[in-house]
């Protein structure tokens, strides 16, 4: 798949700083946090659910200090300006094309980094737009095909109970507005502060629906992403305190990488890797970017 150039628009830029403030695609507007040296190698940081671009703040600062320019967008469904109503609009094909459109608007191939659902978007974009991705770094979530295999060959099918619940209409949206949700986030390893931040944003009806549609849109996605291969160098990062995504899928991911592949396991870290271990994550990313440039 290639991006649909006919629906792309140039991202909005600050006239004085040259910073990109929004990406555009097919009538959707994606806010983005553009930081670091203006001429630095570009790195796109994709957040997961129920988060937004703020989850990358600490990692972005460390990458900026290392000389990289970072772009952390709010993805489809995470902001009111890019939140289609219908679940089919959140299929993997659309997420991949959103990301590739962002890279087009940056104007050069980028290092692509994703966490949680952002990792899913990163995997699918790397499969669909090989020439646009210099390297892929996926945190917490493995290749879609490896994850699908693990659902039927390991305990992953039980660990993913919430994915089945999210297919039900209305009820999940109601749960997100209650005091139960921040407690659930704390149970997965989030700090109290981050749990309050992330639970507060999904009390908005549009944002709640958009995030849940990431899960609901899976059923409308092309099966080719389950077997697609990645040629860019891959860094896969998993944490042994992750209760949502277990080890099996990460071990299976290597078979989908045609280029260099590195699996790193972070001990005693929960699912929320970027905010729980930003120094270690940034160190791994800088090493991976440098190694990827050497093999290019």
| pLDDT in 10s for each residue of the chain, 296 residues | 333 333 345 678 876 778 999 999 999 999 999 999 999 999 999 999 999 999 999 999 999 999 999 999 999 999 999 999 999 999 999 999 999 999 999 999 999 999 999 999 999 999 999 899 999 999 999 999 999 999 999 999 999 999 999 999 999 999 999 999 999 999 999 999 999 999 999 999 999 999 999 999 998 998 999 999 999 999 999 999 999 999 999 999 999 999 999 999 999 999 999 999 999 999 999 999 999 988 76
Phi, psi torsion values for 125, nearest 5 degrees: -65, -40
Could you say which architecture CATH assigns to the domain 5-295? 3-Layer(aba) Sandwich (3.40)
Q: Residue 72 to residues 23, 26, 28: CA-CA distances in angstroms?
A: 11, 20, 16
Give the domain ranges of the chain.
5-295
Q: Residue 49 to residues 54, 82, 218, 258: CA-CA distances in angstroms?
A: 12, 15, 14, 28
Q: Which two tokens stand for residue 165?
A: 């619940």
pTM: 0.94
Which of these, 233, 36, 18, lies nearest to 44 by C-alpha position? 36
Rg (CA), the chain: 18
At a CB cut-off of 8 Å and minimum separation 6, what does 146 contact?
249, 250, 252, 253, 255, 256
């Amino acid at each position: 798949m290639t991006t649909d150039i006919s629906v792309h628009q140039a991202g909005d830029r600050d006239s004085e700083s040259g910073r990109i403030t929004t990406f555009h695609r097919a009538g959707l507007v994606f806010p983005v946090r553009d930081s670091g040296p203006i001429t630095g190698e570009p790195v796109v940081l994709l957040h997961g659910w129920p988060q937004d671009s703020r989850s990358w703040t600490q990692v972005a600062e460390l990458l900026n200090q290392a000389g990289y320019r970072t772009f952390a967008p709010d993805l489809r469904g995470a902001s009111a300006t890019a939140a289609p109503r219908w679940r089919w609009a959140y299929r993997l094909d659309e997420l991949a094309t959103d990301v590739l459109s962002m890279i087009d608007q940056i104007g050069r191939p980028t290092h692509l980094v994703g966490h949680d659902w952002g990792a899913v978007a990163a995997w699918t974009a790397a499969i669909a737009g090989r020439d646009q991705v210099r390297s892929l770094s996926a945190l917490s979530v493995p290749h879609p095909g490896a994850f699908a295999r693990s659902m039927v060959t390991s305990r992953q099918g039980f660990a993913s109970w919430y994915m089945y619940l999210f297919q039900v209409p209305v009820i999940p949206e109601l749960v997100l507005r209650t005091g139960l949700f921040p407690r659930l986030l704390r149970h997965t390893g989030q700090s109290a502060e981050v749990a309050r931040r992330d639970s507060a944003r999904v009390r908005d009806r549009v944002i709640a629906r958009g995030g849940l549609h990431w899960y609901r849109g899976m059923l409308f996605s092309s099966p080719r992403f389950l077997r697609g291969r990645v040629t860019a160098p891959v860094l896969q990062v998993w944490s042994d305190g992750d209760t949502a995504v277990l080890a099996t899928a990460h071990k299976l991911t290597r078979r989908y990488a045609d280029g260099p592949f590195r699996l790193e396991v972070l001990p005693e870290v929960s699912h929320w890797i970027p905010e729980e271990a930003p120094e270690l994550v940034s160190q791994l990313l800088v090493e991976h970017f440098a190694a990827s440039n050497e093999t290019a």
